[in-house]
Amino acid sequence: MPVLGALGSRFARAVHCIDAGQMQPGRLGAMLNTNLNEHKGVAMHNVLVPFDGSASAKRAVQYLVDFSKVYPDIQVHLLNVQREPNLYGNYVPASMLDDLRKGAIQHAEKVNREAALLLEQAGISHQSHVAVGDVVTEVVAAVKRLGCNTVVMGTRGMGSLGNLVMGSVATRVVHDVPVPVLLVK
């Protein structure tokens, strides 16, 4: 850690990455200091989950299902963001734009239903949110609007080269949101 200096140390505290595939039953409580009731001011209680339906996003939701066994008062906000449609040509009627947006919102609601069902079955309080726009911008706005104190999200593991060339959504979220981010592999 000394090589990273103060900035790296701050970053390391703000981001925690968990490999959900290696998580053993009962180990979660030990990782989280088992008695979270003593840490009510510190524990996650209002969590945003950017959910795209991918396997890594599903692991993030499963992590919260497991977490809720230790801390049952958790509130989860699912957010699916659809990108603005790419349009080509000089003229697109307003009705077509409206139809494309409605279709994107319907798709977002459908994607969120799977995660909402898992949370509902686990008895976790949750709300589903959808947006059309830039993913990172919408995540940052949702954190502020909903008063979330943590973001829990999956990471696809694009690798160093992919992140260097393109940047990942997870990397951009870590840098842009004002709250801690927990990444689930």
Instruction: List CB contacts of 174: < 8 A, sequence separation 6 or more.
Output: 11, 14, 15, 181, 183
Query: What stretch of H or E contains 84?
Result: none
Q: For the residues 144-163, what does the mean pLDDT come to?
A: 80
Predicted confidence band of residue 17 (pLDDT cuts 50, 70, 90) = low
d(CA 80, CA 78): 7
Predicted confidence band of residue 21 (pLDDT cuts 50, 70, 90) = low
Predicted confidence band of residue 32 (pLDDT cuts 50, 70, 90) = very low
DSSP annotation of 83:
P
Q: What digits encode the pLDDT tens for the residues 77-121?
A: 999 999 987 777 677 777 888 888 899 999 999 999 999 999 999
Stretch among 42-51, 57-66, 81-90, 100-109 having the lowest mean pLDDT: 81-90
Residues in the chain: 185
Return the C-alpha torsion angle 135, 138, 144, 149, nearest 10.
-30
Q: How many CB atoms lie within 10 A of CB 43?
A: 18
Q: Which domains does the chain have, with CATH numbers?
A: 18-29+41-184 (3.40.50.620)
